[in-house]
Structure 1
Amino acid sequence: MSEIATLARPYAVAAYKRAKETASTAQWSETLAFLSAVMKDERIAQAADNPKVKKEQFTAAFLDLCAGHLNGESENFVKVLVANGRLDLIHSIAEQFEYYRAEEEGYLDVEVCSAYPLEDGEHAKLVTVLQTELGKQPRLHVRVDESLIGGVLIKAGDRVIDASVRGQVQRLATRLYN
């Protein structure tokens, strides 16, 4: 996994630097997210990795598929990735780009899994608590996971806060069996 991150890093850094130079970080974020979504299609990923497919043909077909979603710079970025056989790294490139953007803009993307949908007051309180705890402005991405039974599971960068009933039951079971 770290090998993929290492390979993707120079591309993410280059994309982020260019986005900063042109004041287009939001546009680059959308473009990289789009490219990442396109590459999740198994057929496209297989075609990108197929040594029998000529790079020029694949590039032309890929850019046709993405027509209307890419500008000139992002098309050139795709061409460089295909030429270097690195299009499969686009998901990691997009993740690292978002990390650099978050660091620069002073926010942190936080994934919150809740057993139930959060009410507005709960959402606001969670933002306040996380901002104090993490020292950055959290951007919450909330999803419901009923298997948690109750409570929340929070992932912020490399930190995980398991305040779910399921997590408490698992920890209790571990202590009882050890």
Structure 2
Amino acid sequence: MLKGAIARRYAGALFELARKQNTIDRTLDDVKQIAELFRQRKLAYLLREPKIPAQRKETALRQALASKVLPTSLNLALLIVQRELVDVMPNIATEFEKLVLDYRNQAIAEVTTAAQLDDAQKAIVKKALEHKTGKSIIMQTRVDPSILGGVVARVGDEMIDGSARNRLHILQQQLLAGVTATSSDDELASEDFAQPANR
């Protein structure tokens, strides 16, 4: 079975359990913590190595996690190691977070701008993305001067490219193709720049 399908199955089972036990937030923190722990080179080697006895692996996991995570989360970690799926844990954490966001009708938007946004500008971008997606948006912003201006936003698998760099690229393609952007020879319509990026 593919890594993504395995991750979705485990994340789905854990999510249903967390929902019934009313521990969604805590479980989300737990799976992120476990995924981070499994990325540590020393521990990852210990958990993956077939020659190391299962009991030693379980002891190491219990010492690292027992006092920090819910019993259900610890059981997940033990099961993942027992079934030799250590490499899948980061995917499980990602899939679990997606389920939590969907459950709450939320989405994470990675927003890139050429310069730092002030609070008023962030509010405008957030509102526009919420209108477009129909979801409550959690914004993560970063600055990349190479986009020249405008905004690039990634929400899940969707890329919304309203950057000046993309607008210039579209215009360049139109000029190369000999396409007249508008009926007027000296004016470009703003709709010409509103095309989504082809990524």
TM range (shorter): 0.7 to 0.9
Q: 1:82 to 1:106 in 2, by over 3 A?
A: same
Structure 1 residue 63 displacement after superposition: 2.9
Q: Which has the larger radius of gyration?
A: 2
Local SS of the residue matching 2:139: strand
Given that 1:48 and 1:88 are in contact with CA atoms closer than 8 Å, whether structure 2 keeps it comes out as no
Q: 1:46 to 1:146 in 2, by over 3 A?
A: farther
Local SS of the residue matching 1:153: strand
Q: Which structure 2 segments of 5+ residues have no match?
A: 178-199
Partner of 2:7: 8
Q: Which runs of 4+ in 1 moved over 6 A?
A: 173-178
Task: Write the letter of the residue equivalent to 1:10.
Answer: R
Correspondence list, 1:89-168, <5 A: 89-168=88-167
2:60 is equivalent to residue 61 of structure 1: yes
Local SS of the residue matching 2:115: coil
Task: Write the letter of the residue equivalent to 1:148.
Answer: I
Structure 1 residue 7 displacement after superposition: 1.3
Task: Write the letter of the residue equivalent to 1:151.
Answer: G
- Could you tell me the TM-score, scaled by structure 1's length? 0.86
Comparing 129-138 with 62-71, greater Cα deviation is found at 62-71
Once residues 52 and 170 of structure 1 are traced to their aligned partners in structure 2, the CA distance between those partners, rounded to angstroms, is 55
Once residues 27 and 9 of structure 1 are traced to their aligned partners in structure 2, the CA distance between those partners, rounded to angstroms, is 19
Given that 2:65 and 2:74 are in contact with CA atoms closer than 8 Å, whether structure 1 keeps it comes out as no
Q: Which structure 1 segments of 5+ residues have no match?
A: none
Partner of 1:32: 31
Q: 1:82 to 1:151 in 2, by over 3 A?
A: same
Comparing 17-26 with 136-145, greater Cα deviation is found at 136-145
In the alignment of these two chains, the number of paired residues is 177
Given that 2:48 and 2:81 are in contact with CA atoms closer than 8 Å, whether structure 1 keeps it comes out as no
- Could you tell me the TM-score, scaled by structure 2's length? 0.78
- Which of the two has greater helix per residue? 1
Once residues 23 and 41 of structure 1 are traced to their aligned partners in structure 2, the CA distance between those partners, rounded to angstroms, is 30
